[in-house]
Chains A and B, each alone.
Chain A
Amino acid sequence: MGKYTAALVPLKASIARVRVETSNVRTYYVKLPDGLELPKPGQFNMLYVHGVGEVPISVSDLDEESRVVAHTVRFVGSVTKTFELLREGDLIGFRGPYGIGWPMDAAYGKNIVLVAGGIGLPPLRPVIREVARNRSAVGKLIILYGARTPEDLMFSYEYGDYESIPNTEFYVTVDKPSEGWRGNVGVVTNLIKHVDVDPSESYAFICGPEIMMKFAVRELLKRGFKTNKIYLSLERRMKCGVGLCGHCQMGPYFVCKHGPVFPLWFISRYFWVDQI
Chain B
Amino acid sequence: MSLTGLYVGRAVSLRILFSELRRLGYVVIGYKVVDGVLRLGELNSFEELAHDVEDIQSPGKYSLVSGDFYRHGPDSPKRFLYPPTLTLFKVSSEWVVSVPAYEERNIAFFGLKPCDLASIKVLDKILLGVDEYYTSLRKNLVLVVENCVSPGGTCFCSTMNTGPRARDSFDLAYTRLNDKLVVEAGSELGLKLLNLLEVEPIDDVTYERFEVMMRNASEKARAGFELNGLPEELELRIESKTYEEIVEKCLGCANCNMVCPTCFCFDVFDVPLIDGSAERVRVWDGCLNFTYGQVAGGHFRPDLWARYRHFVLHKLAYWIKQFGMYGCVGCGRCITWCPTGIDLRETVKKVLRGGKGG
Q: How large is the interface on B (under 10, 10 to 19, 20 to 34, 35 or more residues)?
A: 35 or more
Interface presence of B358 (CB below 8 A): no
* A1-39 contact mask (Cβ, 8 Å, vs B): 1 or 0: 111111011111000000000000000000000000000
Contact of B293 among A50, A52, A80, A247 (CB under 8 A): A247
User: Is A10 within 8 A of B318, CB to CB?
Assistant: no
User: Is B97 within 8 A of A12, CB to CB?
Assistant: yes
Q: Which residues of B contact A2 (CB under 8 A)?
A: 129-136
Q: Which residues of A contact B266 (CB under 8 A)?
A: 239-240, 244-246
User: Is A50 within 8 A of B278, CB to CB?
Assistant: yes
A275 to B294, CA, bound (A): 11
Q: Which residues of A contact B313 (CB under 8 A)?
A: 251
User: Is A249 within 8 A of B318, CB to CB?
Assistant: yes
User: Is B95 within 8 A of A91, CB to CB?
Assistant: yes
A77 to B133, CA, bound (A): 31
Interface presence of B91 (CB below 8 A): yes
Interface residues of A in 202-223 (CB under 8 A from B): 209
A–B complex contacts, Cβ < 8 Å, 6 sampled: A2-B129, A53-B268, A209-B298, A237-B292, A252-B317, A252-B318
User: Is A51 within 8 A of B301, CB to CB?
Assistant: no
Interface presence of B314 (CB below 8 A): yes
Q: Which residues of B contact A245 (CB under 8 A)?
A: 265-268, 285
User: Is A273 within 8 A of B321, CB to CB?
Assistant: no
- 10 nearest A-B pairs in the assembled complex, by CB-CB distance: A2-B132, A246-B265, A51-B278, A275-B306, A252-B318, A77-B296, A5-B132, A76-B296, A51-B272, A252-B321
User: Is B95 within 8 A of A5, CB to CB?
Assistant: no
User: Is A6 within 8 A of B132, CB to CB?
Assistant: yes
A189 to B113, CA, bound (A): 57
A76 to B145, CA, bound (A): 51
Distance from A82 Cβ to chain B, minimum over Cβ atoms (Å) = 11
User: Is B278 within 8 A of A8, CB to CB?
Assistant: no
Contact of A1 among B99, B297, B298, B322 (CB under 8 A): B99
Interface presence of B5 (CB below 8 A): no
A252 to B321, CA, bound (A): 7
User: Is A247 within 8 A of B292, CB to CB?
Assistant: yes
Q: Which residues of A contact B88 (CB under 8 A)?
A: 5, 8-9
* A229-258 contact mask (Cβ, 8 Å, vs B): 1 or 0: 000000111011000111101111010000
Given contacts A93-B97, A237-B300, A244-B130, contact A249 B310 (CB under 8 A): yes
Q: Which residues of B contact A1 (CB under 8 A)?
A: 99, 132
Interface presence of B26 (CB below 8 A): no
Q: Which residues of A contact B297 (CB under 8 A)?
A: 76-77
Residue tally, chain A, CB below 8 Å to B = 43
Q: Which residues of B contact A252 (CB under 8 A)?
A: 317-318, 321-322
Interface presence of B264 (CB below 8 A): yes
Q: Which residues of B contact A246 (CB under 8 A)?
A: 264-266, 285, 287
Interface presence of A54 (CB below 8 A): yes
Q: Which residues of A contact B264 (CB under 8 A)?
A: 244, 246
Q: Which residues of A contact B134 (CB under 8 A)?
A: 2
Q: Which residues of B contact A54 (CB under 8 A)?
A: 268, 280
Distance from B13 Cβ to chain A, minimum over Cβ atoms (Å) = 38
Given contacts A235-B295, A273-B238, contact A53 B89 (CB under 8 A): no
* B314-326 contact mask (Cβ, 8 Å, vs A): 1 or 0: 1001100110000
Interface presence of B303 (CB below 8 A): yes
Interface presence of B270 (CB below 8 A): yes
A12 to B322, CA, bound (A): 32
Which residues does B use to contact A, with CB under 8 Å? 88-89, 91, 95, 97, 99, 126-127, 129-136, 235, 238-239, 264-268, 270-272, 277-278, 280, 282, 285, 287, 292-298, 300-303, 306, 310, 313-314, 317-318, 321-322
Interface presence of A196 (CB below 8 A): no
User: Is B296 within 8 A of A52, CB to CB?
Assistant: no
Distance from B96 Cβ to chain A, minimum over Cβ atoms (Å) = 9
Distance from B2 Cβ to chain A, minimum over Cβ atoms (Å) = 31
Q: Which residues of A contact B314 (CB under 8 A)?
A: 249
A2 to B130, CA, bound (A): 5
Interface presence of A274 (CB below 8 A): yes
Interface presence of A276 (CB below 8 A): yes
A208 to B211, CA, bound (A): 61
Given contacts A9-B88, A247-B265, contact A274 B310 (CB under 8 A): no
Q: Which residues of B contact A235 (CB under 8 A)?
A: 295
User: Is B293 within 8 A of A5, CB to CB?
Assistant: no
Given contacts A9-B88, A236-B293, contact A4 B132 (CB under 8 A): yes
User: Is A237 within 8 A of B293, CB to CB?
Assistant: yes
Q: What residue in chain B is nearest A246 (Cβ atoms)?
A: B265
Contact of A275 among B95, B272, B303 (CB under 8 A): B303
Distance from A31 Cβ to chain B, minimum over Cβ atoms (Å) = 14
Contact of B302 among A6, A80, A275 (CB under 8 A): A275
User: Is A251 within 8 A of B318, CB to CB?
Assistant: yes
Given contacts A237-B292, A252-B321, contact A12 B95 (CB under 8 A): yes
Interface residues of A in 100-118 (CB under 8 A from B): none
